[in-house]
Amino acid sequence: MRAFIRQLRPALMAVVVFTLLLGVAYPLVSTLIGQVAFGDKADGSLIVRDGVVVGSEFIGQTFTAPEYFHSRPSAAGAGYDGSASSGSNDGPLNEDFLAAVQERADAYRTENGLDDAVAVPVDAVTASGSGLDPHISIANAHLQAQRVADARGLSLDEVLAMVEDHTDGRSLGVLGEPGVNVVLLNIALDDLTK
């Protein structure tokens, strides 16, 4: 029994010490460094307008009005629900998936006044892996630009300039494709036409 107690004391001390170090001190230090070095990003890159949080730079939103650029479809819950982030996991041979893509492509062409021969960008008809992506492709933005310009009473050149201003480059200069942040673009368009 003495041997057991002799071994139990150091084990309990190790649990207490490592709990304090790794369960309390490490998270506090990491949070402090994040807040000091990356304050806005550590808080979720929230977008605040007139003292009200209207979104995040990194989470998409559903836009349906003609004066807004429309985000890509979301598979996260009812749409851009962070607590339900996921893809649909439907494959390219799934009949329901193919029907949904065709339906979305037809709706996209109709709302943007496009001919049936115009190729619809894949990001306009499929959800991202997380279902939260705030970006669309440059091609998608260019196809929507005329509709937005007409609805806002702006010239196409003005809207395309705004698209270019809100295009993010590749991560680290080489990863992924450039994309247009729809949330920031729509907010900038609202600010422009107030």
The pTM assigned to this predicted structure is: 0.77
What pLDDT was estimated at residue 55?
80
Amino acid of residue 37 = A
| Closest to 170 measured CA to CA, from 125, 146, 143, 137 | 137
Q: 3-class SS at 173?
A: coil
Q: What angle do CA 104, 120, 171 make, to 5 degrees?
A: 105
Q: What is the pLDDT of residue 39?
A: 72
Q: Are 156 and 141 in contact (CB under 8 A)?
A: no
Number of H helices, E strands in the chain: 6, 5
C-alpha 127/C-alpha 146 separation (Å) is: 23
pLDDT number for residue 43: 66
- What is the structure's pLDDT at 81? 73
pLDDT tens, N- to C-terminus, the chain (194 residues): 788 888 888 899 999 999 999 999 999 999 888 888 877 676 667 777 888 887 878 888 888 899 999 999 887 777 777 777 777 778 888 898 899 899 999 999 999 999 999 999 999 998 877 778 889 999 999 999 999 999 999 999 999 999 999 999 888 888 888 999 999 999 999 988 77
Q: 46 — phi, psi (to 5°)?
A: -70, 145
